Structure 1
Amino acid sequence: MSLPGNPAVATAAHQRGAARGGVEVVLDDLIAQRIAARSLVLAASRKVAAAQAGIKTSRFRGRGVDYVESRSYQPGDDIRSMDWRVTARTGRPHTKVFQEERERSVLLLLDHSPSMHFGTRVCFKSVQAARAAALIAWSAIRGGDRVGALGFGSGVTGEVRPAGGPRGVLHCLRALSDWDTLARVDRSDSATPLSAALERARRLARPGSLVILLSDGFCADAAAEAPLARLAAHGDVRLLTLTDALELAAPPRGRYAIEVAGARRWLEFGGSADAQWVAGFRARRQLLLDQCKRLGIASLALDTRDDLSRRLAALGLALATRRSPG
């Protein structure tokens, strides 16, 4: 049955959909990011074409490699490719031979911790993260990459193995929508440690993968640095930190009513308490930012108010280019 041709009815329906899209991940919204992804991949395509034009090894990392065989060591071979097992067995130095994959894997790590389901401007952090992930996914397949996803926090433990083409993206987007629904009905207040999610990602990410973590950083723990380092050693890692305006600046002076576990509480703002409010949120994400800084992992802040197409323009190049291994 079609909707009545009443403009007022159509407008009301649109407004209800927009309101729902601000607090829930809507699959149609994620699919619509395919149009915005065109501008992201064009810049990346020009860069990667230049990188692949020469016959010598590019300064960018390859799109991942598959082991082919081991052969006798030859002068000039990279010592990092030595096959020590065959060398020990035969008594003669051998080196591993790899062939470059035609496709690279882009793995999206989505944080569904309770703190992600919060927002005071435009949308929740969880919704902005899902939209950014969708935009990256569509952009990646336009560049010939495969896309996979991994969800964690609030009872979410799902994984989607990397696959190419629109079908691969749609599998990821469906999972993002389902994971958001699961996280919103989950009643647990505990966040999954980031270290546990990264250990899962290590099993899913192949060498040469680009791993993009979308989180507000509140789930970070000291044990996360080791798996982060291992992921970065075998591929590229990027961090997108989700923020909301209320975390960056205290609200205007006044007394505000909030509900906590069904009970009303009051918060008062004004004076020295404002600085403590901002510092508290900054401290919660600083651990992860410091870990990434020590490991040379690039990070980008995403606010719930940001225009994703513009904000992720710099990341578009990262989808197609690689850091130097050394």
Structure 2
Amino acid sequence: MVSGTAATPASGNPPTRPVPRGTSAVQVDLDSLIALRLAARSLVLAASRKVATSQAGIKTSRFRGRGVDYVESRGYQPGDDIRSMDWRVTARSGKPHTKVFQEERERSVLLVVDHSPSMHFGTRVCFKSVQAARAAALIAWSAIRGGDRVGALGFGCGVTGEVRPAGGPRGVLHCLRALADWDLLARTDRAAAPATLSQALERTRRLARPGCLVVLLSDGFSSDAAAEAPLARLATHGEVRLVLLTDALETQAPPRGRYAVEVGGQRRWLEFGGRTDARWTDAFRERRELLLRQTRRLGIGRLTLDTRDDLTRSLASLGLALATRRNAG
């Protein structure tokens, strides 16, 4: 896998729309993530889940999650559900008491962002890592507009940070600062071993509360067989969505020619043409196919996001999937 720079041809036709030379195309820029707050106004992340009553109803809610939060205990009144009796307070006071619950008014949205070496690659518009951070920022700004809390978890080379879900602009800013910091750490800490997706999802399980919406942003190259079990548990207790990052050079080999690439600070040459093209695209497809099979088996909605894609338009389809809670992808 070539990372750290885009390939440049020594002969043949050059790829269209090469990566811009500006640093914002190859590294995560905090100011640009903050500026996406305005763009998020046109993105409807999910249908409103606000409820009008303060007491839990008898019918099953259409919203997944805990459903209700404990508020207080009060004296038992005729007609109260015996299953809500607070036996500890009853025993302590000598008088029957029942628990009062309030329906959940907000949800946590947890952004799980891959910072593996393969994410620091791109030949069109920007690196996959930058596109992932921008997508995460748009989702975060959209989440708080709907009254949700937002948090983040990073994984990859040396990246182990977590931001617990919080509401409002301050909660988003904490996440965006972390995204920029994690990107810098992943680009500079070359000695750290890459983390597997299963390790990241086990950390996610400890951070995600029941009913949490987990959005995984990854190119799938860190996936492993052990990831399916924590994925299934997250999907059982909440919602999971996959944003799969891709680049044009991974889905179609470049035109015939000899290309110079930079790997680990050293220049190397790749020659394309004939059977090389098929082996090139097959290698990328096989690396992400494991994660795609796992999400299909678990019914997890997914969105493929290319480095050239318009984020607002692309994420709108993810928003529809979040609203309907099921997406065949």
TM-score by length of 1: 0.79
Number of residues of Structure 1 aligned to a counterpart in Structure 2: 283
Query: Match for residue 192 of structure 1?
Result: 195
Q: In the alignment, is the contact (CA less than 8 A) between 2:128 and 2:247 conserved in 1?
A: yes
What secondary structure, in the 3-state scheme, does the structure 2 residue paired with 1:48 have?
Answer: coil
1:219 to 207, 212, 222: 222
Give 1:295's match in structure 2, choosing from 294, 298, 303: 298
Read off the aligned partner of 2:182 and give its amino acid letter: W
Give SS of 2:159's match: coil
1:221 counterpart letter in structure 2: D
Structure 2 counterpart of 1:131, which letter?
A: R
Partner-residue secondary structure (3-state), 1:258 = strand
Alignment of 1:67-86 (within 5 A): none
Deviation of the 1:322 alpha carbon: 3.9
Q: Report the Cα distance in structure 2 between the residues aligned to 1:65 and 1:23, rounded to whole angstroms.
A: 44
Q: 1:64 to 1:323 in 2, by over 3 A?
A: farther
Cα distance in structure 2, aligned partners of 1:189 and 1:120? 25
Deviations along 1:220-273, whole A, 9 cap, x unmatched?
A: 011100000110010000000000010010000011122333443221111111
User: How far is 1:199 from its partner?
Assistant: 0.5
In the TM superposition, what is the alpha-carbon distance from 1:210 to its structure 2 partner? Answer: 0.2
Matches within 5 A, 1:1-12: none
Determine helix, strand or coil for the equivalent of 2:269.
strand
Q: Which amino acid aligns with 1:242?
A: L
Matches within 5 A, 1:170-319: 170-188=173-191, 190-319=193-322
1:65 and 1:283, CA in 2 relative to 1: closer, same or farther beyond 3 A? Answer: farther
- Of residues 105, 110, 117, the one that matches 2:113 is 110
Q: Give how far 1:157 is off.
A: 0.6
- Contiguous gaps of at least 5 residues in structure 2: 1-19, 74-80, 89-98
Deviation at 1:314, TM superposition (A): 1.6
Structure 1 residue 315: deviation in Å? 1.8
Are the structure 2 counterparts of residues 322 and 258 from structure 1 closer, same or farther at C-alpha, using a change threshold of 3 Å? closer
TM-score by length of 2: 0.79
* C-alpha distance in 1 between matches for 2:21 and 2:70: 49
Q: Which amino acid aligns with 2:131?
A: Q
- The two structures, once aligned, show a CA RMSD in angstroms of 2.9
Q: Is the 1:162–1:168 Cα contact (8 Å) retained in structure 2? A: yes
Given residue 288 of structure 1, which amino acid in structure 2 is its aligned partner?
L
Please say if 1:48 is aligned against 2:51: no
Question: 1:14: which partner in 2?
Answer: none
Supply the AA of the counterpart residue of 1:171.
H
Q: Distance in 2 between matches of 1:270 and 1:97?
A: 70
Q: What runs of 5+ residues in structure 1 fail to find an aligned partner?
A: 1-16, 71-76, 87-95
Whether contact under 8 Å (1:40, 1:313) holds in the other structure is yes
Superposed CA deviations along residues 8-45 of structure 1, whole A, max 9, x for unmatched, are xxxxxxxxx9711101111111011111111112x74x
Checking the alignment, whether the CA contact within 8 Å between 2:114 and 2:155 is kept in structure 1 is: yes
Query: Residue 61 of structure 1 contacts residue 322 of structure 1 at CA under 8 Å; is this kept in 2?
Result: no
Who is 2:169 aligned against? 166
Q: 1:228 to 1:67 in 2, by over 3 A?
A: farther
Q: Is 2:158–2:192's contact at 8 Å kept on the other side of the alignment?
A: no
Displacement after TM superposition at 1:69 (Å): 9.8
Counterparts in 2 of 1:262 and 1:286: CA distance versus 1, 3 Å: same
In the TM superposition, what are the counterparts of 1:7-22 in structure 2 within 5 Å?
19-22=22-25
- 3-state SS of paired residue (1:312): helix
**Deviations along 1:260-310, whole A, 9 cap, x unmatched?**
334432211111110110010000001011011111111110000000000
Verify the 8 A CA contact 2:68 2:101 in the aligned structure 1: yes
TM-superposed deviation, 1:319: 4.6
Structure 1 window deviating more from structure 2 (265-274 vs 97-106): it is: 97-106
Equivalent residue, structure 2, for 1:144 = 147
Is this contact kept in 2: 1:129–1:214, CA < 8 A?
yes
